[in-house]
A and B are shown apart, each in its own frame.
Chain A
Amino acid sequence: MTLSGRLGGAQTPMLHFIQFAATRAALAVITLIMVSFIVFSLMELVPGDCAERYLAFKNTTGAQISIEDIEAERVRLGLDKPYVVRWGVWIVNAFQGDFGDSCILRLNISQLLGEKFWISLLICLTSLLLAYLIAIPVGIISATSKSPIVNNSLRLVSYLGLAMPNFLLALMIMLFSTMVFGDSLTGLFSKEFRDAEWSYERVMDFLSRAWLPIFILGWSATAFAIQTVRALMSDEVGKLYVLAASARGVSGRRLLWRYPARHSLGPIINSLGFDLNRIFNELPIVALILTLTEAGALLIEALARSNDQQLAGAIIFLLTASIVGINFVTDIILALTDPRVRRSILG
């Protein structure tokens, strides 16, 4: 059985790979469905439903509202259907990118979020990329370096990254820049570009301001990443195959890069999703401090000020969906580069 299995695997690696990808995709969808259940239940837990809120708003404009009106509105919005049905409808629409209307703002959520969500995702992914661009070389150096100065200073940096959460860092930078430059460096766009169409000038304006949130969000991610890379590398460096390679005459950067680094980068690719998760955790608070106008700020707005559960649910679902997406992509990348991973899933 094992023989034929192995032969089968060897004969059709393509089929093997497709099978693996399909399994992972199915797992991702199941995760998303479970997450949507959590998010949807949370939305349902809020006292009062959309119909009541909508009519309460109408009431403020002077119209007389009766219980029958509320019931009629419930039927119109489909709120009279059982829980599971509504969840089903919500998730089917959510997978098509439609989250319905926010009943507080009475606007379509997809339109409201649209660009803002992509900007947030872009900022987060850029800071993640930045974190690893710094962490991989630095981590490798610190794992192989014997110099106590290098090691201790890197240790200090990573401890500071852990102890100084991003929002405190953001606060400190604001304090500093207000005292020194007299400008708090907040916002994502200058006034004249806030609602303008995308153009070259708007992109440049965005870039001139986006570096700060990117730096702040990347701060503790970098500290974490350096620690991970360092730990993985120090585990690998002492192993026999590295010694064997150096005995064969490979040395210096070439040795590190071809042998231990390749092994230790696998788990890092695998954990990208969780790094993104950590960055998302900080996003709303950093957004609040820097008064950014993107999804994180909208989430705070939706939760802290207006109790807008549809909007909050949509944002949390989208954030989670992007993490699940990243996890899926990294798994595929890993499987493409590392056959051991494929085997571990398919047995």
Chain B
Amino acid sequence: MSDTAAAADTDANVDQSLKEAYFTASQGQLIWARFKKQRAAMVGAAVLIALILAGLFAPFLTPYDPTIKGRNPDYQNGAPNIPKFWDENGFSFRPFIYSYERTRSIETNFRWVTTVNRDKRRYVVLFPEGDEYTLLGIKFNTHLFGVDEGKIHLFGTDGTGKDIFSRTFHSINTSLAVGTIGVLIAFVLALIIGGISGYYGGWVDSILQMITDAVRTVPAIPLFMAIAAFIPDTVSSEGRFFIISIILGFIGWPTLARRVRTHLLTERNQEYVLAAQLCGAPAGHVIRRHLLPSFTSYIIVDLIISFPYMVLSETALSFIGLGLKEPVNSLGVLLQNVTKADVLLNYQWNFIPVIFFITLVLAFVFVGDGLRDAADPYADTKK
């Protein structure tokens, strides 16, 4: 009897402490609790983290330098090498690939032809030393895997003999970097313009809104293609990288600015704002310290949702040759040559990077959607 009473008591206690935890939880904890419940979003987040790490540690994870420096002149337009454990010559505990030779003779009509030699195996080795790279400011030359002799190309090679596997991983890095800079620029612009527009209201708001609407009406990609076309060819590849990121930032700001403005317009009449103003706080202080924190979570969600569009816009620009250029690797750069009939018919492995990018964008979309639902305080009451 007393046992059940004690149990009920502890139940009540647990219940009470749960409630307390719920009511005292910070916004971040609440969002995380709701986010954890969504399976698709959690899978997306896991994939996303894996891809980000893959991008960051690309130089280590991939066997070769992605630029022309790491090319394999003996294996141009080469098919993917798939490591095997056994074949007709027997079983091996170490995975191996076949060696290939590049020959030209009267039989091949004097064209270079790559032939696979199935009798000569190349064994996969871990942590071989190869092309030098810099990671976290330190120089390394150890890579995760390689082969004991010659080179291994998991995804094949392109027309100049560059390793598509290495290029794909490096381009994830580039896309994430471009996206991050682009999103940050869009964010700052949106905060300034949306903030001023929403806080002051009135005619300032009307004029800023008219400008924003006019900018929103122009199709962004054609407009920014026009701007990108004017980047002189003499700009270095790093300079180009930053200019393209800035251009992408300019594509993204109007939508975000509108959100910030709408929110500020409703919030600025609240009493806490009046209180701050009566204490003599200047406008900038009120916006920064009181208004913005009231919807930080929404802004973060918006940023994550707009991220894939940045990545895709960069891809589109680079693809048509107006965005990034070699030796920088990005998906658009990788895809520049694939519309040739030759590639479409014979070298389809050039399309492998596309799979990674669809995964990357999908992961972002899933996480963004999950966060949006999690950040909505009314999500539970709706259902």
Please report A residues at the B interface, Cβ cutoff 8 Å: 30-31, 34-35, 38-39, 42, 45-47, 159, 162-165, 167-168, 171-172, 174-175, 178-179, 184, 273-274, 277, 280-285, 288-289, 299-300, 303-304, 307, 309, 312-313, 315-316, 319-320, 323-324, 327
Contacts and interface: CB of A to CB of B under 8 A. Distances in A.
B319 A285 contact: yes
A244 to B, nearest CB: 20
B316 A171 contact: no
Given A34-B211, A175-B348, A284-B320, A163 B225 contact: no
B221 A38 contact: no
Contacts of B213: 31
Contacts of B211: 34
Q: At the interface, is chain A mostly helix, strand, loop or mixed? A: helix
A85 to B, nearest CB: 22
B335 A171 contact: yes
Contact of B230 (A45, A167, A316): A45
Question: In which size bucket is the chain B interface?
Answer: 35 or more
B219 A162 contact: no
B219 A277 contact: yes
8 contacts: A163-B362, A171-B338, A179-B348, A277-B219, A282-B316, A284-B221, A299-B225, A304-B322
Residue of B219, B339, B344 with most partner-chain A CB within 10 A: B219
Contacts of A304: 225, 229, 320-322
Given A163-B361, A171-B338, A184-B341, A323 B319 contact: no
Interface in B332-352: 335, 338-339, 341, 344-345, 348, 351
A165 B358 CA distance: 9
Contacts of A172: 351, 354
Contacts of B232: 47
B217 A280 contact: no
Interface in B207-223: 210-211, 213-223
B375 interface: no
- Most-contacted residue by chain A among B335, B338, B344 (CB, 10 A): B344
Nearest to A303: B229
Contacts of A179: 344-345, 348
Contacts of B66: none
A319 B222 contact: yes
Interface in B311-326: 312, 315-316, 319-322
B354 A38 contact: no
A284 B339 contact: no
A235 B95 CA distance: 56
Nearest to B350: A175
Given A168-B354, A280-B219, A281-B220, A38 B214 contact: yes
Contacts of B357: 168
Nearest to A323: B217
B344 A178 contact: yes
Given A281-B221, A284-B320, A299-B225, A35 B335 contact: no
- Listed residue (A45, A274, A300) with the most chain B CB atoms within 10 angstroms of its CB: A300
